[in-house]
Structure 1
């Protein structure tokens, strides 16, 4: 295998930038923790690691393929830790799992660009965007999250006041709950 030319490297990094930007734009529009630049950097970084692996195959054909496998394994594990930074858990819910998964998938697309698998990376980006944009609408329609805001007494006075837009009543209900 021949070492990569500067043009090959630029093309692969450019494709990784585009794939990361596509996912990043969607995440940024929804104001998620990992947005536009973060997704680009994740994709570029993954591509860079894979380019190092491709160069290793060119330089050391007998051991290079095993090294690429190790790079992929380390990359996917490391990206899992990075994605975990987007996950927030509180008493009621876990948030950020979709962003964490988007981080992981964007890394995979970047790695594919490193191998010059542009069609595969592009298809992954399209399916990722389909999942993040179109399937979100399906999920919201058929599997809505409950938005119950019961006060401590079990009634819905706070939620009802919010729905009516009665800010004064919201304050009164909150103050009442604090006294108890």
Structure 2
């Protein structure tokens, strides 16, 4: 019986954290960083007290770091099927770009929340960004080893692709056509990375 209570408590804690994070994303997306107070988050989450936020997150910076982690995790889960289905480095690169653009277009609230965190110059951990760059650099390294990609600095190319997607995110949130954006980015980075034909 004790084990079940501990499991129930852990599940309840995780559910409450999720509720707070989702409310924070909504407040950031709809009202902006300056208005993302604990009072506003409580209102959207339907919480009775700000102490419920403080109980689960030691600071607002920790809460915002968790928002970034959630957005990254959600994007990864959304993109994974397309990446898994792609065969070869060039196809995986195209799948990465297209599925990322599709995620951004389908979850503008996530994008606006991240933009507001960046706008607020919040000191958050860099693991999410560094991890995304490292995974892309690994994809480029694989393509260079297989001969699909030309020789270039994989980390620099990965950073350039992330920056290009981040720049397009604002246009997508403003209503740009996701298909057009995905086509342009895919073609641009195909041309930038492909090996010269003999």
Q: Place the TM-score, normalised by the shorter chain, in its bin.
A: 0.3 to 0.5
TM-score, length-normalised on structure 1?
Answer: 0.32
Q: What's the TM-score once normalised by structure 2's chain length?
A: 0.30
Q: Over alpha carbons, which structure has the higher Rg? A: 1
- Return the structure number with greater helix share: 2
